[in-house]
Amino acid sequence: RTPLIVDVDTGIDDSLALLYLLARDDADIVAVLSTAGNVPTAQVANNNLAWLELCGRTDVEVAVGADGPLSAPLRTTEDTHGPQGIGYAILPTPTHRPSDRTATQAWVDLTRERPGEMVGLVTGPLTNLALAIRTDPGLPARLRRLVIMGGAFHHPGNTTPVAEWNISVDPEAAAEVFAAFSAVPVDRAPIVCGLDVTERIVLRPEHLRRLAELSGSTPAETIRSDDAPSTRSVTSNPVVRHLSDAVRFYFEFHRDHGQGFIAHMHDPFAAAVALDPDLAQYRPATVDVETEGRITRGQTVADWFGLWGRPPNARVAWDTDPDAFLDDLVGRVAAFAST
Ligand code: BDR
Ligand code: CA
């Protein structure tokens, strides 16, 4: 089983990433860390605790991360993910608590305890990891693998014309993390799943319907179509019901931004890559993050050709088979929900 440190800003698609990992027998989720991004870090930690408890996994450590970016003021995006970050879902209040150590300390401790073993997955801003590397510059070399959801390379941004959300919230943190990996061999460089690949992972209402059916939880008629009322789902299975309530909000957000009644599965895809790097094809690049630009702050700039004369510090995910992944996501989460 692959031991994972999962650093998230839960988040609707982060929620699905967590459920997907919980559904995978080959994933050993050692710690779930919260970072401020989609919603504030305390709310993220609460969401993580609530999903884990709903799934009977109170054994997994939840650690609270930094309150906000390294130097920029915190921005959150409740209009994308709902007032609590989980769309229309109202999860039971968790009864278990976050651990005593910070998310930053968890990165440091866990990679020291198991050097060369831990796989890191970051699906929010890179604040916690940047702070951990400041404390312990040897950390990058101790990770078996790091997968980051973030960035937009040949693809437009989703937060500014050139910047993707996770990088845009804390560009300084992202810049520090990429810089820290310049001394690591390219076969250990972070795998970066940017919008170029994650916006190709398009979840549709029929996927949710299939998920409900496969999990044996019917009826699911409120997961119907783009004119369905914004009421709560009526499926009998609690995991499917809460998930449907969360994702419907995400469908509506995408629809309201002219993308159709769909949802991009950014974070679940990165989660899958953390376990199966062969799921995508990559291009090595030297990635820098613009922190100064008047209109380009948060842009991820990839040097594909060694023009700067610096070694690659990233493997940028470039191609994948979206339908194969969506089938896997739906099938695994449905099977998990039915247990
Ligand atoms: C990223 O931004 C967040 O809102 C999502 O959870 C995802 O991690 C996509 O740009
Ligand atoms: Ca996220």
For 116-169, what is each residue's pLDDT tens digit?
999 999 999 999 999 999 999 999 999 999 999 999 999 999 999 999 999 999
Q: What does the mean pLDDT of the chain come to?
A: 95
Q: How far is the centre of ligand 2, averaged over its atoms, from the C-alpha of 307 (Å)? A: 31
Take residue 143 and report the two structure tokens written for it: 């990770």
- The percent of residues in the chain predicted with pLDDT above 90, rounded, is 93
Rounded distance from Cα 191 to ligand 1 centre (Å): 16
Residue 92 per-residue DSSP state: P
How far is the C-alpha of 81 from the C-alpha of 185, rounded, in Å?
A: 37
Ligand nearest to the CA of 198: 1
State mean pLDDT over 334-338: 95
Would you give the distance in Å from CA 185 to the centre of its chain? 24
For 145, the 3-state DSSP assignment is strand
Tracing tokens 């040897």 back to the chain, one arrives at 138
At 299, the pLDDT band (50, 70, 90 cuts) reads very high
Average pLDDT of 302-331? 98
Q: Considering only CA atoms, which residue is closest to atom 10 of ligand 1?
A: 165
Out of 18, 123, 257, mutate this one to test ligand 1's pocket (max ligand atoms within 8 Å of CB): namely 123
Ligand 1 pocket mutation, candidates 8, 9, 160, criterion most atoms within 8 A of CB: 9
What is residue 237's predicted lDDT score, i.e. its pLDDT? Answer: 87
What is the Å distance from ligand 2's center to 266 Cα?
8
Which one of 18, 77, 165, 193 would you pick to mutate in the ligand 1 pocket, going by the greatest count of ligand atoms within 8 A of its CB? 165
Find out whether 83 and 110 touch, Cβ atoms under 8 Å.
no
Q: Is the pLDDT of residue 274 over 60?
A: yes
Contact 32, 48 (CB under 8 A): yes
The first and second tokens of residue 182, run together, are: 């310049």
Helices within 147-256 (DSSP H only)? 165-169, 171-180, 195-198, 205-214, 238-256
Ligand of minimum distance to the alpha carbon of 48 = 2
Which among 64, 14, 292 has a CA at the least distance from the CA of 175?
Answer: 292
Whole-number Å distance, alpha carbon 83 to ligand 2 midpoint, is 15
Residue 198 alpha carbon to ligand 1 centre in Å: 10
By three-state DSSP, how is residue 111 classified? helix
Four-residue CA torsion sign, 79, 17, 219, 226: positive
* Among 81, 207, 264, 266, the one annotated catalytic: 266
Percent of the chain with pLDDT over 70: 95
Q: Are 132 and 104 in contact (CB under 8 A)?
A: yes
Is residue 226 pLDDT above 90, yes or no?
Answer: no
The ligand 1 atom at the shortest distance from the C-alpha of residue 77 is 4
Q: Which band of pLDDT confidence, cut at 50, 70 and 90, is reported for residue 325?
A: very high
Is 155 a known active-site residue? no
d(CA 187, CA 247): 35
Pocket lined around ligand 1, Cβ cut-off 6 Å: 11, 13-14, 38, 77, 80, 123, 149, 158, 164-166, 266-267
Atom of ligand 1 nearest to the CA of 80: 4
Q: What band does 228 get if pLDDT is binned at 50, 70 and 90?
A: low
Cα–Cα distances (Å) from 187 to 195, 216, 315, in that order, read: 22, 42, 8
Asked whether the predicted pLDDT for residue 3 surpasses 80, the reply is: yes
Does residue 314 have a pLDDT over 70?
A: yes
Q: Cα of 158 to ligand 1 centre, how many Å?
A: 9
